[in-house]
Structure formats: C-alpha cells, structure tokens
Amino acid sequence: MTRGTIKTWYLVHKWTSLICTAFLLMLCVTGLPLIFQDEIDGWLNPPAPMATLPAGTPSLSLDAILKRAAAPAPGDMPLYISFDDDRPIVYVTTGATADVAPAAMHFLAFDARTGATMPPYVPGVMAFILELHTDMLLGFWAEIFLGVMGLLFFVAIVSGVVLYAPFMAKLDFGTLRRGRSKRLGWLDRHNLLGIVTLAWASVVGVTGTINTFVVPITNIWKANGLAAIAASETRTPLGPNRASVQAALDAVQRKAPDMEPQFIAFPGVVFSSKHHYAVFMKGTTPMTSKLLLPGFVDAATGRLDSVTPMPWYMQAMLLAQPLHFGDYGGLVMKIVWAVFDVLTIVVLGSGLYLWLRRKGGPSEQRVREVVMAGETA
C-alpha cells in the first residue's frame, strides 16, 4: 500500500468517524438497556395474572372479541388485532379512522379464552428509550438521519480494517504495548477492539440502517405488491356489514397450517389494502417467526384473495430486526450482545481520544503513525 493510499483511507476513517461518533455513542448507550427490554419491562411492569383454565380451553371467536372491544370506545373502528407471543391474550387496536395517528389509537387487551378485559399495554420507560434510540424523539427525518450515520459508521469500520493492515505489519495479533505512552496504549486497544468487534458492529450497524428505512420500504411494497392484490378486480364497496374476521383467519390458517397468526390488519391501515383483512402468519423458529406470510381476505365478501410471500426486500427488512436487537438467542446471547456493545463504546471513545491527543502536524504525521505502528517518537 502506498503512502498516498494510506493517507486517503486515513482521511476517510477520520471524517466518517468524527461525523458519526457522537450519534453512535448515543445509539450504543440507549441500545444497551434495549437488549434487555423484555426483562426490564417484565420487572418494572409484571404481567397481569390470568385465570387458570384447563389446558386446551378453546379461544373465543375473534368476532366475539371485537364486539367486546367496541363497547369501551364507541365510534372507533378496529385497526389491528394482534396475538401475544407467550400467553392467550388478544390485543385490539381501535381508532376513529383508519389513518389516525398512533397517539390517538386505543389499545385494548382480552383474555382470548374468556374475553375478560386485561390491563392494556402501557408504554413505559423502555418504550421511551426505544423512541430515543430510533429517532431521538424528532420523527421520520431524524430516523433517516440516524440511518445515514449508521452507513458512515460502516464506512468507518471498513476504512479502519484497511488501516489495520499496515499498522499491524510488524505486530502480532493482540499486541498491547504497555508501559509506553498512554496514547500508544490506547492506539493498540483501539485496533484490537476494533478488529474483534468488526463483524458484530458491521451486522448491527447495517441492520440498524435497514431498520430506519421501514416506512419507505413498506411503502414500496404497498405501491407494488399490495396495490396489485387490491386492484385485481372491481370490489364490492365496504359497507357496515363486514365478513367474519375469525373466518378470514381460519381461511389463511388452512393455507399455512404450520404457522401461527401474528397480527391482522384491517382495511385502510398501513399494513393492509382498503378492502382486505390482511392476516400475517409467522413461523415457529426464531428466523421464520420474523418472516411474515400475509394472506389477504376480502373484507366485504370473505373470499381469500391471496396468500403470497413478501418480496425479498420486505423479508430482508424483517430479518434485519432481530439481527439488530439481539433478542432472538436467549439470555446468553443478550449478555454477549451487551459486552460487544460496551466494547464498541470503548472503540468509539478511544478513537475520539486518539484524535484529540494527536500530536500536531499535517495528516502525513498520521500516515507515519499507521505505517510505523505508532512508533513515531
């Protein structure tokens, strides 16, 4: 590698890092408690006790559940039904219109077997931290901005790996020179921690960036796949009398007998067309549980129109979520995730320290530092 090449990569590393470091530090710090979101939420807000019924007690029809959901919020229409992962609980989201803002929606929870009202989900401190992590409470463009910071972080990782080669030309892997200058010590640690967290940080950075594009990617899917399903023929206008939701779920379940329902989107909401119940089924392994299979049932006639796997870009987006949050492999994985997160904080912090404590002089000085493995004194 010529000195000119090294200088170019050094400048790429310096500038991409400097721009994204403050935001990445925020993401790492808020991300740390989010790894243990389920545990912390369960501890702060213990799940409400449920009636003990014999195993195999059948669930009520979803239509009966919807009748109960209509009582507390008259004038609302159902927007979503979703199913608890672990317990027989059905969640119903209602709103005055199909396109109402999430803040104006009503959330209800029912025991699926008895129809008894359960305490609804209350967004707690973890939901706040998640919002902070997602968009710093500043909305859509802030989320896209953080996605761009994630891309810069990935470029910083790649350029760091390129610089690692000349730096390590005369050093053994894992060399930490001690008893020398403090800056040299941190230069070695920055290189070691940077190279061992490389794969993890790349995966979490890139999947995090993908997650910030949820809204645009979903809109592409709606404009293509969904529109084709909805426009395939003329529709009976949707009146007040709708087809049975339970029958819609049963029809889709028959097409995907090995899967479980995850949620049902009602006509007009983000995840459905204007005419359909969209029934989203999920698999039973950590991976297939994220790869949703939607079935579309005409909400006027009750006819099953399509059960089509999502396009690749939706699948990739859905798969990016567990890979970003590390919540799919049990407690051991969460602990490992947390250690990687802390090490990434050290890499970011040491990088900043190395830059602040750089000796004066032009960037040629930094290039010398790279090729001489820091032995420039």
Partner 1 sequence: MSHKTNRQIFAVPILLGVSTVAGLGAGLVGDGVWDVGAGLLLALPLVVTARCWVLPPATQPRRAESPRAAQVARRA
Residues that bind partner 1 (CB under 8 A): 161, 164-165, 168-179, 192-193, 195-200, 203, 285-287, 319, 322-323, 328-330, 332-333, 336-337, 339-340, 343
- Nearest Cα neighbor of 289 from 329, 252, 254 is 329
Distances (CA, A) of 323 to 117, 147, 159, 334: 34, 15, 23, 12
Least distance (Å) between residue 204 CB and partner 1: 9
Q: Which two tokens stand for residue 92?
A: 């119903």
In a 3-state reduction of DSSP, which class is residue 295?
A: strand
**DSSP codes of every residue in 321-340:** HHHHH--SSHHHHHHHHHHH
Kind of pairing between the strands at 276-282 and 260-265 = antiparallel
* The pair of three-digit structure tokens given for residue 360, joined into one six-digit string: 């004066």
List alpha helices for 106-264, DSSP H.
125-135, 140-167, 182-196, 198-212, 214-221, 227-230, 245-255
The number of C-alpha atoms within 13 Å of 269 and in the hemisphere containing its C-beta is 22
Residue with smaller CB distance to partner 1, 119 or 179: 179
Least distance to partner 1, CB of residue 363, Å:
23
Q: Residue 196: what residue type?
A: V
At 56, give phi and psi (nearest 5°).
Answer: 85, 5
For partner 1, the closer of residues 223 and 333 by Cβ is: 333
Residue 44 amino acid letter: L
Name the minimum Å distance from CB 24 to partner 1. 19
**Which CB sits closer to partner 1, 178 or 239?**
178
Output 176 or 310, the one with its CB closest to partner 1: 176
Smallest gap from Cβ 194 to partner 1, in A, equals 10
CB of 305 to partner 1, least distance (A): 31
The residue (of 94 and 350) whose beta carbon lies closer to partner 1 is 350
Residues 6 or more apart whose CB falls under 8 angstroms from that of 9 comprise: 159, 162, 163
Nearer to partner 1 by Cβ, of 296 and 340: the residue is 340
The least distance separating partner 1 from the CB of residue 103, rounded to whole angstroms, comes to 33
Between 93 and 197, name the residue whose CB sits nearer to partner 1.
197
Q: For residue 308, which amino acid is it?
A: T
End-to-end Cα, the chain, rounded Å: 23
Q: How far is the CB of 310 from partner 1 (least distance, A)?
A: 17
Beta carbon nearer to partner 1, 142 or 323: 323
Q: Give 242 or 324: the residue with its C-beta nearer to partner 1.
A: 324
Nearest distance in Å: CB 247, partner 1:
32
Q: Helices H, strands E: what count in the chain?
A: 13, 8
CB of 71 to partner 1, least distance (A): 39
